[in-house]
Amino acid sequence: MEENFWKQLKKPFFALAPMDDVTDFPFRTMLALHGKPDVLWTEFVSADGLMHPDGLKALLPKLEYDGEAERPIVAQLFSASPEKIRQAAYLIADLGFDGVDINMGCPDKAINKQGAGAALIKSPSLAAEIIIAAKEGVASHHRPIPVSVKTRIGWNEDELETWLPTLLATRPAAITVHARTRKEMSLVPARWDRIARAVEIAKGTGVLIIGNGDVTDLADAHAKARETGADGVMLGRAALGNPWVFNAHKKDIRVEEKLLALIEHSKIFEQFYGEGHRFDVMRKHYKAYANGFSGARQLRTTLMESKNAADAERIVAEFIASVGAEIKRSVLE
């Protein structure tokens, strides 16, 4: 019998968006420690790569998670091959994840060239095959898990009226709708009226609709859920540099708290990957942590030189010492 955690969630629920090179183990650990969302998502992972002997070893770190601390946790896959998705979905179930999600919204040209990600919007019959294959993959496991999809409202134009029914016909457990087309990337405001329309189209199917795009914080997420009727709302960029974003009890964040979180994140990153492992990945997090307070710009510039967690800790300590006690007490702008 399928173990469908989606049915147990109180609505509206709030989820972490999957972001490549962002929602890795250290990042999700920070959220689990400071304000865990209702559902966590991994980075997207190539199903084709997972099914290759060399690729499996290289990609498994993307699928590391901390047992009960991160549940429910969903692993996201991408591929244009139903067979690879079928095999990879079984693996995801075997790794103990609570769900598997199929990426049908990534606008990256390299991914789209493979026929995966948002390119599947142009191949609706193949998209349906892939969802069915994923469901077959998890159904063959002794612990079946639910299959969900993350997509956009269209390729070049808004195709929600025809695209969403194609996905709904395969009965995934949930569909996350990013309220932009692939062509629009993230260059225009998300159209949440289309999320409301997606809710209408999905009514009676039993498929949950999750809205995504331009959600600034938890209060905004609640408002968008009320306005659209969405079952859930997904936050992505709002979580960068803000591990408290899903914490309803955390109202004001002091500058010192944010800087200490930066150090904590750096140490967890280094502990997980090992010293010397692509520490430049942390730079995008530093840009987000060192933001919204006096002196942040100079601090960001200096942090870009960090080669390890010790560097980051020293730079932050020197900054705090130089600005004095006032900034320790100040709340972010």
Of the residues 16, 88, 104, 106, which is catalytic? Answer: 106
Q: Is 106 a catalytic residue?
A: yes
HEC states along the chain? CCCCHHHHCCCCEEEECCCCCCCCHHHHHHHHHHCCCCEEEEEEEEHHHHCCHHHHHHHHHHHCCCHHHHCCEEEEEECCCHHHHHHHHHHHHHCCCCEEEEEECCCCHHHHHCCCHHHHHHCHHHHHHHHHHHHHHHHCCCCCCCEEEEEEEECCCCCHHHHHHHHHCCCCCEEEEEEEECCCCCCCCCCHHHHHHHHHHHCCCCCEEEEECCCCCHHHHHHHHHHHCCCEEEECHHHCCCCCCCCCCCCCCEHHHHHHHHHHHHHHHHHHHCCCCCHHHHHHHHHHHCCCCCCHHHHHHHHCCCCCHHHHHHHHHHHHHHHCHHHHHCECC
- Point out the residues that are catalytic: 106
